[in-house]
Amino acid sequence: MEETPISISQSVAILVDGNNIERSLESEHRTQSIMINFDVLIPRLLKGRGLNRLIYFREGKNISSKLADRLQSKYHGSVIPCHKSADIPLSIKATQLASKVDAIIILSGDSDYVELVRHLKGAGVRVEVCAVESTTAEVLREEADYFEPMVKEDCFSLNQGQNKKKRR
């Protein structure tokens, strides 16, 4: 008897703690010139599900307009500058989105999000965490419904991009 493939229709929000992920990538790869390759990571995280929102939270005013433009044009995403850390703005946005999405993927390994994860799960939202495994708090990994490690293929080196441009 042949099994019929199951079609999963879920709406997903991806919320990125930019400072946490940037520090984790720098620590893991021992370079300051490494960034998330959203074109690889987003489809891998969505696994065919629909993207409802993509928001990149970043502390400080020094935010790349190139990143903001790229997220907007490719994913209708946005970059939100934060006064201090992204913890509170990201948590508020996640709580606001909880009734509008089936799943929220948090890109951060920060244990400060444990209570948010518990709250969202209590509200019936599937919570996934994606972060650099070596810098992710064990308690956050355990609390999430699913943990997806960020791997080298999910990143690119800014130096490589500059070298490619010079070769042309």
For the stretch 39-98, pLDDT in tens is: 999 999 999 999 999 999 998 767 778 888 989 999 999 999 988 889 999 999 999 999
**Confidence check: pLDDT of 166 > 50:** no
Would you say residue 25 has pLDDT above 60?
A: yes
- Check if CATH label 3.90.950.20 holds for domain 11-167: no
Please give the DSSP secondary-structure letter assigned to residue 61. Answer: S
**pLDDT, position 160:** 53
Q: What is the pLDDT of residues 98-123, one digit of tens each?
A: 999 999 999 999 999 999 999 999 99
At residue 2, the pLDDT reads 75
* CA–CA distance, 114 with 144 (Å, rounded to integer): 8
Query: What pLDDT is stored for residue 167 in this prediction?
Result: 36
Nearest in space to 16 (alpha carbons), one of 67, 79, 75: 79
β-strand partners of 51: 12
- Whether the CB-CB separation of 121 and 98 falls below 8 Å is answered with no
Q: Spell out the domain ranges in the chain.
A: 11-167
Q: What is the mean pLDDT of residues 123-142?
A: 97
What lies within 8 Å, CB to CB, of 64 at 6+ separation is: none
Contact 95, 104 (CB under 8 A): no
Q: Which amino acid is at 3?
A: E
Average pLDDT score over residue span 139-161: 88
More confident residue, 144 or 66: 144
Q: What are the tokens at 43?
A: 């489809």
Distance between CA atoms of residues 104 and 14, nearest Å: 6
Judge contact between 95 and 105, C-beta under 8 A. no
Beta bridge partners of 50: 11
Position 27 confidence tier, pLDDT thresholds 50, 70, 90: confident
